[in-house]
Structure 1
Amino acid sequence: MINGAKLTAAPIRWAMVGGGQGSQIGYIHRSAALRDNVFQLVAGAFDIDPQRGRDFGTSLGVEPARCYADYQTLFAEEAKRPDGIQAVSIATPNGTHFAICKAALLAGLHVVCEKPLCFTTAEAEELQTLAASRGKIVGVTYGYAGHQLIEQARQMIAAGELGEIRIVNMQFAHGFHSAAVEEANPATRWRVDPKLAGPSYVLGDVGTHPLYLSEVMLPALKVQKLMCSRQSFVASRAPLEDNAFTLMQYHGGAMGFVWSSAVNAGSMHGQKIRVIGSKASLEWWDERPNQLSFEVQGRPAQVLERGMDYLHPAALHDDRIGSGHPEGLFEAWSNLYYRFALAMDASDRDDQAALAAIRYPDIHAGVEGVRWVENCVRSADAGGVWVDYQ
């Protein structure tokens, strides 16, 4: 159980690129990173407007001299300081991720990056190679994977409680963009601009989240081929999709399905994953994150509650407040950030055994997210045909 005890010898000196005034995701990063005293925010390039970024940074308690105009200056100036930053989080539009992440790794920094890492698998693999050569950690913010019942599902599946895995049914289908909200909201507009968002909208923005949950729960399941159909129901978003259906065949014969959508009118969030085996099924819904449905064929359905003693020890390890009290997205993100910190600390100490024991969305998860989107776009643009997974 996480109880605030010291996890590393000292907090990691940390900066942010982006995540400035009005950025919801920036606040989530800071809240998660600072909760367990594993990171200390000491610098940043928070905004494309230097003065606005400096004003915001100082409001967070960062020294004015360490609120920089851009990420290049941030990395160069911090490298000159004996107390310079050790890690950086990237919370900027998609089109900037590759350049900033590469520059950070070249500057000898650990990285936490919003997904997608970049636009192409080739770029993602370049970052993977660079991170390995520099001995640096790259974490990707698949925040929902920090919920403790995702770990519970992983352990139950590994123990064979579901039997042979047959079907993985996934969705992240909300309704908040069922109309052209980007026309009046610049913070949303970049998401439907191919120059800034990349080759897809909802496939990369929401679809990769339940996909990563499936990778956590089912690490041995690998995609063999897929077929994708994508639509732009709000016509002005074309060529980017606001809805997509992806059918996948895994090595070994299991099947998977992902519904990615921003036009599921009336849906608040709509992220669910259901894993179906020959004996039983599991289902988790992020709007009810404290419960995991477990349904054994021929028996009454069960609901497993977070924080209870009957859960696997690996799931209880991420518990923060005991059973009964609800936990949510901030706790899940905090669980990822403390794991990022432990991984960075182990890497800096060259403790490979400790590093291998830490599960977190790493550079490999980032590469696979980009690869999946790239294959989905390739299938959809060829008319929704089956393509071998590359």
Structure 2
Amino acid sequence: MFNEELQFKPAIRWGMVGGGRGSQIGYSHRCAAQRDGLFKLMAGAFDLNAERGRSFGTNLGLSTERCYPDYTTMFTEEAKRPDGIEAVSIATPNATHYEICKAALHAGLHVVCEKPITFTSKEASELQSLAEQQQRKLAVMYGYSGYPMIHQAREMVRRGDLGEIRVVNMQFAHGSHNIEHEKNDPGLKWRVSPQVAGPTYVLGDIGTHIFYLCEMITGLEVSRLSCMKQAFIRSRAPLEDNAHVMLEYTSGAVGTLWASAVNAGAMHQQKFRIVGEKASIEWWDEHPNQLRYEVQGEPARVLERGSAYLYNDAAGVAASHIGVGHPEGYFESWANLYHRFALAFTGQTSHDESPLWYPDVYAGINGVRLCEKCVESATSQSQWVSFY
């Protein structure tokens, strides 16, 4: 159960770049970061339009002088203040992430960045090195990894409940963009524009989410992959709105990943099935409080979030905010992650003194690498390519 008494005095002083008026992602970051009282929003550069950003920030309760016209000014001015920000979240379009992350780390700030953190793994590795040099943390907002049942799944794999992992079946395949909605939706338009979104659309935007979940649950390392991708809405080319990926892991296990925005009729359809030699588990983000557990030769079981029979790690790593039976969802998952970010930023360890888990820069690097390698394969008639 979540421990409400864990507080920092004072809370981590926190700023935002992007995520201004009308931004769903910005709202998600603010709700999650401040839910447990571990972060306090002190400053922001919320909008490319300085006046609009100032108006928005003051409506949130910030002082006018701490609503900045751009991130460079914010980092410079906040560094001069005795109460300047200690951490920043970046909720801007993809093309800006690398430069903003770099500037934030140079300013001595801990960083939470939307994915992808960069367009290339080379740039992502540069940020890793810079974070280490500055002795600051760079976290990546894989928002679904805060669900408690994801950590139950991870612990079940670690303890051998499934046996040796053989097959990893992943999908994130919604139908919301089955027609050319970007004509009237600026938020979608940049996601299908290569100069802003980067080398991929659905692979980077949603495929990396399910890829990271299964990577953290299984601990498996990809050895090579083959990718086939399409732009069924032709104006989106060269970016894809549908992709199928086959993966081979160094352990001998195999996997598949389907990422799509044109799965007509589907709401979200982010799912995984992990198959071991003894048993399998399934999870679906539209029913995040349940984990299906199927042992060969036994009746199928549905494990419920918050139940006493779960492994302690499901509570200790990503604490439930409310008792069993009450549904927890998206905002709780994000809040669980910000709780972990706060512990990481303040140098605390896990409850059992083991290394502190959170989606870090290494997770960000592998997400970027997935996109790079899928593009490399797809543009070579789906040839198999080495992951590293």
TM-score, length-scaled by structure 2 = 0.98
Supply the distance in 2 between the matched residues of 1:277 and 1:63 (Cα, whole angstroms): 55
- The one-letter amino acid of 2:333's match is A
1:20-75 Cα deviation digits (max 9, x unpaired):
00000100000000000110000000001000000000011111100000000000
Contact 2:292 2:300 in 1 (8 A): yes
Paired with 2:73 and 2:182, the residues of 1 have a C-alpha distance of: 32
Deviations along 1:137-175, whole A, 9 cap, x unmatched?
111110100000010001111111111110000000000
2: CA distance between counterparts of 1:178 and 1:333? 28
Which of 355, 358, 361 aligns to 2:359? It is 361
Matches within 5 A, 1:286-365: 286-317=285-316, 318-346=319-347, 357-365=355-363
- Compare 6-15 and 61-70 and name the one that shifted more: 6-15
Cα contact 2:146–2:332 (8 A) shared by 1:
yes
Q: Distance in 2 between matches of 1:352 and 1:135?
A: 19
Q: Does 1:153 align with 2:153?
A: yes
Which amino acid counterpart does residue 274 of structure 1 have in structure 2? R
Task: Give 1:61-140 correspondences, 5 Å limit.
Answer: 61-140=61-140
**1:355 Cα offset (Å):** 8.6
Q: How much is the aligned-residue C-alpha RMSD, in angstroms?
A: 1.3
Equivalent residue, structure 2, for 1:197: 197
The CA distance in 1 between the partners of 2:355 and 2:223, in whole Å, is 28
What is the CA distance between 1:389 and its match in structure 2? 1.2
| Mapped contact 2:32–2:335 kept (Cα < 8 A) | yes
- Partner letter of residue 99 of structure 2? A
- The answer to whether the Cα contact below 8 Å between 1:249 and 1:256 also exists between their aligned partners in 2 is yes
CA offsets 1:309-348 (integer angstroms, 9 cap, x no match): 000111123111010100001000000001001100017x
Contact 1:8/1:342 (<8 A) preserved = no
Question: Is 1:28 matched up with 2:31?
Answer: no
Gaps of 5+ in 2: none
* SS of residue matched to 1:40: strand
- Quote the residue 1:177 is aligned against: 177
Q: Secondary structure at the match of 1:42?
A: strand
In structure 1, how many angstroms separate the alpha carbons of the residues matched to 2:72 and 2:147? Answer: 35
User: Counterpart in 2 of 1:378?
Assistant: 376
CA distance in 2 between counterparts of 1:354 and 1:66 reads: 39
Is the 1:150–1:216 Cα contact (8 Å) retained in structure 2? no
Q: CA deviation at 1:357?
A: 2.5
Give the Å deviation of 1:216: 1.4
Q: Which whole-Å CA distance do the structure 2 matches of 1:353 and 1:294 have between them? A: 27
| CA distance in 2 between partners of 1:143 and 1:156 (Å) | 21
Letter in 1 for 2:255: G
Tell me, yes or no, if structure 1 residue 210 matches structure 2 residue 210.
yes
Q: Which range is displaced more, 3-12 or 41-50?
A: 3-12
Q: Render the CA deviation track for 1:188-236: whole Å, top value 9, x for unaligned.
A: 10000000000000000000001110121112x1101000011000000
Instruction: Kindly report which structure 2 residues correspond to 1:221-236, keeping only aligned pairs within 5 A, or say none.
Output: 221-236=220-235
**Distance (whole Å) between structure 1 residues aligned to residue 106 and residue 381 of structure 2:** 40
What is the Cα deviation at residue 354 of structure 1? 8.9
Q: Secondary structure at the match of 2:347?
A: helix
Q: Which runs of 5+ in 1 are unaligned?
A: none
Alignment of 1:195-274 (within 5 A): 195-219=195-219, 221-274=220-273
1:14 aligns with 2:14: yes
Secondary structure in structure 2 of the residue aligned to 1:346: coil
Contact 1:343–1:355 (CA under 8 A) maintained in structure 2? no
- Separation of aligned partners in 1, 2:372 and 2:46: 30
Give the number of equivalent residue pairs.
386
Q: C-alpha distance in 1, partners of 2:350/2:257?
A: 35
**Is the 8 Å Cα contact of residues 282 and 295 (structure 1) preserved in structure 2?**
yes
3-state SS of paired residue (2:27): helix
- Looking at structure 2, the residues matched to 363 and 65 of structure 1 have their Cα atoms a distance apart, in angstroms, of 32
Q: Would you say the 8 A contact 1:172–1:269 is kept in 2? A: yes
